[in-house]
Structure 1
Amino acid sequence: MSNSDLVIGFLEDDPDQSDLILLWLEQAGYKTRLFQSAAEFRRGLGSEAVDLLLLDWMLPDSSGPEVIEWIRSSANAELPVIFLTARNSEADMVRGLNAGGDDYVVKPAKQHELVARVAAVLRRIGIENVDRGQFELPPYSIDTRRRRISWDGQDVELTPREFELAAFLFRRHGRIVSRDSLLENVWNMNASVSTRTVDTHVSRLRKKLDLNGEYGWRLAAVYQHGYRLEQT
């Protein structure tokens, strides 16, 4: 997939810091989403709406380790998190990584190093070929430039909306994605809109791609939460 398909979140209450870091990420081709408090992150579907989170340690209503502990006990415990903080002691680094951080960057961050660390963590969690517009989850291949999904080398006929839905779910495999998040990110609709459109499209996608577990992947409904594409 291209970087522009990926959303990097930043949980940071300092506007000068956030403006600079988000600019760097956008220059690298990523979409960005800012959260200025832990409460905003929890309310704003943060763990569903982003592919990776940059996390400050000192927040107005929580601490970085408390936020990551919440993430690791949530429905989307696999969300990759990089600490980005001024706390530079070895004890803090150890605590941050032991709490579940995937990496630890000390402020002031260097632009190219930070972007490289983001890309490295994304690769480690299975998002390969970030700059090449294609990623693999065998037997499926997702080509975001041609906007096609193939299964064992054969293209599957999908509508544009079905492709967007499939790419969103494949990119977040293993994570629960709510209907609200799908409405917001795939349909560009307000999450408060009540509709069965998501369920109908998910059902069609499950049939077209045989996401019933027989071929290694299952698109499962998670009661009172949403959907999760899981490996069987």
Structure 2
Amino acid sequence: MRVAVLDDDSTQRDFVGDALSPAGYSCTFFAEGRALISNLRHETYAIVILDWNLTDIPGDQVLRWIRDYHGSSLPVLFMTARSSERDIVHALNAGADDYVTKPVHANVLLARVSNLLRRTSAPKQAPPAEQFGDFIFNLREEDVYFQGEPQRLSKKEFQVALLLFQNLGRPLSRNHIVDTVWKHSTPGMTTRTVDTHISWVRRKLNLRPESGYIIVPIYGYGYRLERLG
């Protein structure tokens, strides 16, 4: 899983990388809040780890932007030297999902990150179907219907299509699609496979202006599903 780490102390960034990388987490590091915000406009992560005291803008302002832009879908862990009860309450009320104070042991940090991801990704009671305009996704049978007519998709094509519709208007990176649909479990899996499945989904669901939806490629990044009109 991909982790965004915001901390202006290079020693702390190295510490987080050393703590999480052996467990399979892929960390991307940022020294300034504005750099992270810019990146989060087009990149996708499983979790964000924030420091509070930064050189440009404070971490609680970064958190507010994340909640305004991503809502509650992106887990945020505060990791900071600020340890007063007032600061902890402030951060949690601002939308942080968890809070740890420096210094923290590597095993504790790993446990908090893993627990937070389990908690936020715990399966919820899913509806039997989701509808997007004339498209209906039967989640139990993994079937798609357009205007009442079944559309023949493979299991992976269904998952790719559902991911696009569930993130309507949001850019999705190829890496995020791989993480979500294939979970890195397929030997020889490449982002080229994503492009091929996107092409099949576009053709089989006729995601063109006449259907009301189009898949927009984002050069060097991924794709975004847009609804017209």
Normalised-by-shorter TM-score class: 0.5 to 0.7
1:90: how far off? 0.5
TM-score between the two structures when normalised by the length of structure 2 = 0.62
Tell me what 2:186 maps to.
Answer: none
Matched, 1:87 2:82: yes
Tell me, in whole angstroms, the C-alpha distance in 1 between the residues paired with 2:116 and 2:98.
Answer: 8
1:177 maps to what in 2? 170
In the alignment, which of 219, 224, 227 is matched to residue 226 of structure 1?
A: 224
TM-score for both structures, normalised by structure 1: 0.62
In structure 2, relative to structure 1, the CA distance for the partners of 1:205 and 1:32 (3 Å cut) is farther
Name the CA shift for 1:27/1:199 in 2 (closer, same or farther; >3 Å).
closer
For the 8 Å contact 1:75–1:175, the answer to whether it is kept is: no
Match of 2:202 in 1: 203
Structure of greater relative contact order (alpha carbons < 8 Å, 6+ residues apart): 1
Residue among 53, 77, 94 paired with 1:58? 53
Instruction: Give the equivalent residue in structure 2 for 1:70.
Output: 65
Q: CA–CA distance in 2 between the matches of 1:24 and 1:163?
A: 36
Which residue is 2:13 aligned to?
18
Letter in 1 for 2:202: S
Q: Distance in 2 between matches of 1:116 and 1:184?
A: 23
CA distance in 2, matches of 1:29, 1:139: 33
- Tell me: CA distance 1:81–1:28, structure 2 relative to 1, closer, same or farther (3 Å): same
SS of the equivalent of 1:177 reads coil
2:113 aligned to 91, 110, 118, which one? 118
Compared CA separation, residues 105 and 57, structure 1 to 2 (3 A): same
Deviation of residue 95 (structure 1)?
0.5
What is the aligned-residue identity percentage? 35
Which residue type is aligned with residue 154 of structure 2? E
How many pairs align? 185
Contact 2:160 2:198 in 1 (8 A): no
- Structure 2: which 5+ residue stretches go unaligned? 130-138, 144-152, 179-189, 207-212, 217-222
Q: Give the number of the structure whose alpha-carbon radius of gyration is greater.
A: 2
Over the residues paired in the alignment, what is the CA RMSD in angstroms?
Answer: 4.2
- Please list every run of 5 or more consecutive structure 1 residues that lacks an aligned counterpart in the other structure: 1-5, 129-135, 141-150, 190-195, 208-218
Cα pair 2:7 2:31 within 8 Å, conserved: yes
Assess if the C-alpha contact under 8 Å between 1:9 and 1:54 holds in 2: yes
Cα distance change on mapping 1:26 and 1:163 into 2, 3 Å: farther
Q: Which amino acid aligns with 1:16?
A: T
SS in 2 for 1:10: strand
Per-residue deviation at 1:38?
A: 1.4
